[in-house]
Amino acid sequence: MPKISDEAMECLKQHDYTGNVRELINILQRAVTMCEGNVIQPPDLLLENMDVSEASPAEAADKPDDESLDSYMEGIEKKMLEDALRSARYNKTRAAEQLGISFRSFRYKLKKFGIE
């Protein structure tokens, strides 16, 4: 099990948690997956990527009036899938873990949105 560096611990302490303890658990699970050595470093936490996805609900006020809720939500879901793929360096298993969904479900969603 990797250890957490002092710098990463400081980042965790300073992060503004908008979710509950599950958010912290997800951050740590992702960090363990992303960690390339035996020590979790700040980039492994992917906190800057989370700020983007946490901002998504606030963007709801910017939803065009002529867009349906279903198509708007699909746009958000597609963006989250693409962001997870990028942050996981296009490793689909890691991206699915980051999103907290099964690999099978992740693969289905990629096919649904035409993401390769």
The torsion angles phi and psi of 4, rounded to 5 degrees, stand at: -100, 125
Spans of the chain below 70 pLDDT: 19, 48-64
The 3-state secondary structure of the chain, one letter per residue: CCEECHHHHHHHHHCCCCCCHHHHHHHHHHHHHHCCCCEECHHHHCHHHHHHHHHHHHHHHHCCCCCCHHHHHHHHHHHHHHHHHHHCCCCHHHHHHHHCCCHHHHHHHHHHHCCC
Return the pLDDT at 69: 78
Return the pLDDT at 111: 93
Q: Tell me the pTM.
A: 0.49
Domains of the chain: residue spans and CATH: 1-47 (no CATH), 63-116 (1.10.10.60)
Return the pLDDT at 63: 60
